[in-house]
């Protein structure tokens, strides 16, 4: 007799569990008392988890991470400038530039 296996079916359960893991990884990342190595490895785990389970990255975490080289921004490896109403973040590791925000007011519809 074949073993009963449930394929699918528990999709919501799996999603809830991955959301739990996501929350605990985020709490490691935002806790500045953790070591930089721990926070960096939690960042990489979080990105892998989000990709695997197709989870949405919370916005306040997304702006802390370089999308290109997956490094956690701090005051030493990145610079933040405000120009024309946009936040401009430059990663000093991969020289990637990210612009956040709507830009100048006269550009908005």
Q: Which residues bind Zn ion (CB under 5 A)?
A: 66, 68-69, 91, 93-94, 96
Q: How far is the CB of 71 from Zn ion (least distance, A)?
A: 5
Query: Could you tell me the smallest distance in angstroms from the CB atom of residue 76 to Zn ion?
Result: 13
- Name the token pair of 54: 């197709």
Shortest Å distance, C-beta 64 to Zn ion = 12
Task: Give the CB-side neighbour count of residue 97, counting CA atoms within 13 A.
Answer: 7
- Between the alpha carbon of residue 90 and those of residues 2, 53, 101, the distances in Å are 57, 29, 15
Provide CB contacts within 8 A for 59, sequence distance 6+. none
Q: Which is nearer to Zn ion, 83 or 92 (CB)?
A: 92
- Closest to Zn ion by CB, 44 vs 96, is 96
Closest distance of CB 37 from Zn ion, Å = 17
Separation between Cα atoms, residue 25 and residue 59, nearest integer Å: 15
Token pair of 85 as six digits: 């109403």
Scanning the structure block, which residue is given the tokens 């739990």? 20
Of 63 and 94, which CB lies nearer to Zn ion in the complex structure?
Answer: 94
Q: Which is nearer to Zn ion, 2 or 37 (CB)?
A: 37
């Amino acid at each position: 007799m074949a073993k009963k296996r449930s394929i699918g079916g528990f999709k919501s359960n799996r999603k809830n569990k991955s959301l739990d893991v996501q929350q605990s990884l985020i709490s490691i990342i935002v806790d500045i008392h953790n070591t930089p190595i721990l926070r960096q490895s939690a960042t990489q785990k979080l990105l892998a988890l989000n990709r695997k389970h197709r989870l949405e990255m919370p916005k306040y975490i997304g702006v802390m991470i370089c999308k290109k080289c997956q490094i956690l921004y701090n005051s030493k490896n990145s610079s933040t400038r405000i120009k024309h109403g946009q936040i401009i973040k430059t990663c000093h590791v991969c020289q990637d530039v990210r612009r956040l925000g709507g830009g100048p007011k006269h550009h908005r519809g």
